[in-house]
Structure 1
């Protein structure tokens, strides 16, 4: 885990960023948080830190001044955030070589993308070797697919979203982008594949299979199956669907 320090003089925002975002899932641990830049700088001077994420507008010492002080620690990555899209702030940030500049309110996807890029850079510096690279998004897709495979009868977008700690709308968006399937499209695929497996077992009645794969109404199951494979469940059972599956 890479060590992260977060700084913001607004305690509610500080708590939200520190506690509500799943840092552990993307390889970071919040080791300290401060409502003032002076306290954060004192901590950095005595402790190993990989990333400092700081607000810009703060009393006594602002985020730009803190970033200037952190230049003494070239290995530390700095992320600035602010409520204002101020050109002077951005120019100063670029001058001091920060890793990213985020605007409040910080969007979930932008924060993930920012720290994924930082993790890649830190991994390169620390020569971290991955047998199979696992990003935050890949882990989300993996967990959702496992949920679908184990709960296809009653699976729902809301249920999957609760498991991975995301909103249903955001999960739907990133699942489509990262897996190439819509959530319902993937669920339907799993259900149809399971139905094919059960249809090959003559001990199962058609209505039993319909219920087993998540359909209360056998007619709805039959209609969905025919839409997916272009043949009916009975035609598939009789051997006409082997080449179509």
Structure 2
């Protein structure tokens, strides 16, 4: 069961989403609700949420401002937007900062199910068994593919701020095509590989004992230590402190 935060400044919509949609049937549990973007960000910063279902137009902080902050913090929280506006600029900005979906109001059962079913699958793929590194089932020959080799070298050298756009520039391809190509050849999303390398590098740095956990967090690209601890626990099944004690 994955943790969900719902943010919408309209009480009737928020209450309906929280109480009348069968979230548990598709693998989610609502752990908090917010009436504005600031409250949503505070709930996310507590480190327990996996997904944020968020209205775009909210007081104090808009949904776009919230997802920009999440993006800049390298938070693993997945965002899905709600909006009463069929505005291309909103959708374009949402996608730029990693939004997984953009649902127009009024929402219905099928819209939410269609949006959250693939997110559940993605979260399942992110979470390997405790104490084990994610095993990548690569298709035959992928390690000898020069494009894949170049992309992986780039990520290993720039894991702190590696991006799909920069990887695409290195191999002179369209980012969307690179994403599909990488998935096809490695059976792993580009973002999953970046996450894997970040976590493995963090584990190596923690073993050295000369860095504090918050320093390791910054070294692998997490400006928020709580988000780093949460991501590390998801990958290894233990906190950075517990991992250091075990090793």
Question: Normalising to structure 1: TM-score of the pair?
Answer: 0.51
Partner of 2:139: none
In the alignment, the residues of structure 2 paired with residue 92 and residue 26 of structure 1 have an alpha-carbon distance, to the nearest angstrom, of: 28
In the alignment, the residues of structure 2 paired with residue 58 and residue 46 of structure 1 have an alpha-carbon distance, to the nearest angstrom, of: 20
In the alignment, the residues of structure 2 paired with residue 119 and residue 77 of structure 1 have an alpha-carbon distance, to the nearest angstrom, of: 10
Tell me how many residue pairs correspond in the alignment: 128
Q: Matches of residues 30-109 of structure 1 in structure 2 within 5 Å?
A: 30-71=30-71, 72-109=73-110
Partner of 2:22: 22
Partner of 1:118: 119
SS in 2 for 1:60: coil
Partner of 2:240: none
In the alignment, the residues of structure 2 paired with residue 89 and residue 99 of structure 1 have an alpha-carbon distance, to the nearest angstrom, of: 13
In the alignment, the residues of structure 1 paired with residue 126 and residue 94 of structure 2 have an alpha-carbon distance, to the nearest angstrom, of: 22
In the alignment, the residues of structure 1 paired with residue 103 and residue 44 of structure 2 have an alpha-carbon distance, to the nearest angstrom, of: 22
CA RMSD of aligned residues (A): 1.1
SS in 2 for 1:58: coil
- CA deviations on 1:191-229 (whole Å, 9 max, x unpaired) are xxxxxxxxxxxxxxxxxxxxxxxxxxxxxxxxxxxxxxx
Partner of 1:233: none
Structure whose alpha-carbon radius of gyration is higher:
1
SS in 1 for 2:39: helix
In the alignment, the residues of structure 2 paired with residue 65 and residue 2 of structure 1 have an alpha-carbon distance, to the nearest angstrom, of: 24
2:5 touches 2:43 (CA, 8 Å); kept in 1? no
Structure 1 residue 47, shift from structure 2 partner: 3.0
5+ residue gaps, structure 1, are 129-245
Moved over 2 A (4+): none
- CA deviations on 1:75-95 (whole Å, 9 max, x unpaired) are 110000100110110110111
- CA deviations on 1:116-135 (whole Å, 9 max, x unpaired) are 0100000000137xxxxxxx
Structure 1 residue 44, shift from structure 2 partner: 1.5
5+ residue gaps, structure 2, are 130-247
Structure 1 residue 43, shift from structure 2 partner: 1.8
Structure 1 residue 74, shift from structure 2 partner: 3.0
2:3 touches 2:48 (CA, 8 Å); kept in 1? yes
In the alignment, the residues of structure 2 paired with residue 97 and residue 46 of structure 1 have an alpha-carbon distance, to the nearest angstrom, of: 20
Q: Matches of residues 136-175 of structure 1 in structure 2 within 5 Å?
A: none
Structure 1 residue 107, shift from structure 2 partner: 2.1
Structure 1 residue 73, shift from structure 2 partner: 4.2
In the alignment, the residues of structure 1 paired with residue 121 and residue 99 of structure 2 have an alpha-carbon distance, to the nearest angstrom, of: 15
In the alignment, the residues of structure 2 paired with residue 14 and residue 105 of structure 1 have an alpha-carbon distance, to the nearest angstrom, of: 12
Q: Matches of residues 132-211 of structure 1 in structure 2 within 5 Å?
A: none
In the alignment, the residues of structure 2 paired with residue 113 and residue 88 of structure 1 have an alpha-carbon distance, to the nearest angstrom, of: 23
